[in-house]
Amino acid sequence: MPDTKLVGAAGEHWVCSVLAGLGWSPSLTRDGVARTDVLAENPQTGDTITIQVKTCSHGGRNWPLNKSARELARSPREWFVFVRLDQTAWDSPTGYVVPRNHVVGGAYLNWRDYRSDPELEKLGRRSGSTWETPRLPSNVVEGYRDKWDLLNHSSNGALVLLPQRFKGLLDEYRSDLPEHHPWKVKLPRWGSTAD
């Protein structure tokens, strides 16, 4: 089992490397900043973005979301980058660039879907899952793979690239979304993703 601090540091440094290659001026924040691991400025436009990085080792299929990761965006320039490291250190990781509010909405809908699966009750696992300890599976964010271009725009207008089946989940659980989630007031625009 790799050291989780080292795994996290590898993901954060990789994100900074990609951002620098894309023309952003990134910097790592100090430990203890709850919602932001990377701050970056676009020197040409003056835009600043904040990124919370979640990293898993090779073979990892999901990322745990702590309390700060379940908080809604305070600005349209807040993002997550979910990183899956490759098997060898010299191979490039995989990154999923997701608007913060899409993470909160997607994680909630995925949790509700998990909780409603009748097969889980047979296994006795349904009672062990709570909204306080959700995990975001990689198949939920697959539509956001390598979407670094999203960072050049406001996250408020970003198409939702969650699995298509989540549209039905949103219809069913929209009123139950976390308080003040923008999808409770206005349905988002969906992009094309595989399910």
Q: Which pTM was predicted?
A: 0.90
Q: What are phi and psi of 97, to 5 degrees?
A: -100, 115
| pLDDT tens per residue across all 195 residues of the chain | 468 888 999 999 999 999 999 999 999 998 778 899 999 999 999 999 999 999 998 888 889 898 888 899 999 999 999 999 987 777 889 999 999 999 999 999 998 888 777 665 555 554 445 677 788 999 999 999 999 999 999 999 999 999 999 999 999 999 999 889 999 999 899 987 655
Rounded distance between C-alpha atoms, residue 73 and residue 138, angstroms: 21
Q: Tell which CATH classification among 3.65.10.10, 3.40.1350.10, 3.30.565.10, 3.40.470.10 matches the domain 4-184.
A: 3.40.1350.10
Q: What is the predicted pLDDT for the residue at 114? A: 83
Q: Are 34 and 69 in contact (CB under 8 A)?
A: no
Q: What is the predicted pLDDT for the residue at 128? A: 46
- Running DSSP on this structure, what letter comes out for residue 32? T
What are the domain boundaries of the chain?
4-184
Rg from Cα positions in the chain: 17
**The residue type at 61:** R
Spatial neighbors of 28 by CB under 8 A, at least 6 apart, are 12, 13, 16, 37, 38
- Running DSSP on this structure, what letter comes out for residue 106? H
Q: Which two three-digit tokens encode residue 54?
A: 């979640």
